[in-house]
Amino acid sequence: MHEWALAEGIVSTAVRVAEDEGLLKITEIVIDIGELQQVEHEILMFALEQLKTPTMKDARFVLKPIQGRFRCRVCGEEWAFIPETVDKEASEAIHFVPEMAHVYIKCSQCGSPDFDVTEGRGVWLESVKGLKRDE
């Protein structure tokens, strides 16, 4: 269900951007997906296809995964999120509330749970491309 809610938000935002930009037809929507969201890309893509509006009926959706990255506040170590290193319970918790990463993930160097998430959080519209009224 999480992916369907994301798809609804993406479609409504893309329509609003298209209106603001004067686009008659949307041809491409590029979406950045933070790895910590653990979005099921196939389900999201299916939902996006099902929720297309007439303005975007021929649009192509591009899903760009953004790898999760962390920086330890204690020792300065930087490391990448590796989903396979967390168990199913942790994976579910992080999926719904990415801030839960601090409970399940520790610095790979010093073991501290005090770190910043530097990349890989959230879902954003990177771009909405299309044909303008005057084209």
In the chain, ranges of CATH 3.30.2320.50 domains = 1-67+120-135
User: Whole-model pTM?
Assistant: 0.82
Measured CA to CA, the distance from residue 51 to residue 13 in angstroms comes to 12
Residue 60 has, within 13 A of its CA and on its CB side, a CA count of 4
Question: Range(s) for CATH 2.20.28 in the chain?
Answer: 68-118
Which amino acid is located at 78 in the chain?
E
Domain 1-67+120-135 CATH assignment equals 3.30.2320.50 = yes
Q: What is the pLDDT of residues 28-85, one digit of tens each?
A: 999 999 988 888 999 999 999 999 999 999 999 999 999 999 999 999 999 998 877 8
Which amino acid makes up residue 100?
A: M
CATH of 68-118, one of 3.40.50, 3.30.1330, 1.10.3470, 2.20.28: 2.20.28
